[in-house]
Amino acid sequence: MSEQAKLNVTVFGDGQLARMMQPAAAELDIHLRILASRSDSSAAQVIPDAIIGDYHDYATLRGAAKGSDAVTFEHEHVPNEYLRALIAAGFNVQPQPAALINAQDKLIMRQRLQELGAPIPAFQAINSAEEAAHFWAQTGGHVCLKARRDGYDGKGVWFPGSEAELVALTTQLLKKDTPLMAEKKVALTRELSILVARRPSGETKEWPITQSVQRNGICAEAMAPAPDLSPQLEKRARDLGVEIAQSLGVTGVLAVELFAFTGENGVEDIAVNELAMRPHNTGHWTQDGSVTSQFEQHLRAVLDLPLGATEETAAITVMANVLGAPEDPQMPMRERVREVMERYPAVKIHLYGKAHRPGRKIGHVNLCGTDVQATREQAQAAAHFLVHAQWPDTV
């Protein structure tokens, strides 16, 4: 079949998220093109139609988008004004820039969620050290300082231990022209997320609520459905995710990161942390634990195709990230993979083709099971061996 007879999707970005769209695209006979930063990037290794270029250059974006039925993203960093220009030029950009700006700028996101009446922490734009000091006093010192743009995996987020530290940090960052905001720190009990897919015609599908475990600001583990979640809170989180997707006009996959905390009545409650309008780390479990993966669903949604079923296919699915060790083990990764396959044949391994770097996401494993603790232990052990080339003593 010629490319002209196929549906064509261009993805701006070349990391593991774009890489993991390729199997779903192949199964649906969708031609995938990426705008890549280099020819050996994670996605470029498996997607033949890779245009090498800079997403900060409008002409490059337009060239990559040519002939596509839909243009989408695997990150939020493409300049919003360029996306608006692409739409003006007749390209089908999904999600559209009016929605995406809420994932690109944390202050705009907070202001819009406040308008919607969504549960959020107290927040304030920070344009001076004096404003930072005032917010410190307002919150009793419970302050999280954030860069409004470009933060991920714990980057662009600071937790100052004193007012003096906050003032010094704010002064330093403002001198570097870093747009800032501050939020009241939430005494969270765990972190949850709700993933929702929405197509331009308005149909939505949401997956079960996911619980994630963060280490050093990076997602280390996710499990779904979230254990010990009350039916009332599950419904509230699902309804909140759908409301945000519909109100903002999101298309594709929307991840709503949630703080869980103990409310006034001693009952678990939630507040919105951040939004991502693309496949998300806390949704990787859907590759092996859901009827439809987030990667297939994202492609369906941006092309305005009927959405797939999102029910879980196991009592519990655990995803454990494979993060680069402080030192890369001498054992080659292919041998580590063999060892994990031998010991845990039910574990599904997903590697990203990335070179080792300490703390870098180089892959993940998924494991479906019936017992939460046993499934977590085995998934963690498999990920640990892929990282360190040795088994943890406890498993």
Enumerate the known binding-site residues for ATP.
106, 146, 183-186, 191, 273-274
Which one, of 307, 196, 291, 296, lies nearest residue 253 by Cα? 196
**What are the respective helix, strand and coil percentages of the chain, to the nearest 5?**
35, 25, 40
3-class secondary structure, 375: helix
The Cα–Cα gap between 178 and 146 comes to: 10
Binding residues: 106, 146, 183-186, 191, 273-274
**Please, are residues 254 and 193 in contact by the beta-carbon 8 Å criterion?**
no
Structure tokens at 331: 């054992």
3-class secondary structure, 366: strand
Q: What's phi and psi for 74, nearest 5 deg?
A: -120, 5
Amino acid at 324: G
Host H or E run for residue 18 = helix 16-27
End-to-end CA, the chain: 50
Tell me the sheet residues that pair with 269. 261
DSSP 296-312: HHHHHHHTTPPPPP--B
Amino acid at 220: A
Structure tokens at 184: 């009241």
Give the CA radius of gyration of the chain. 21
Which one, of 361, 355, 328, lies nearest residue 219 by Cα? 361
The Cα–Cα gap between 331 and 334 comes to: 8
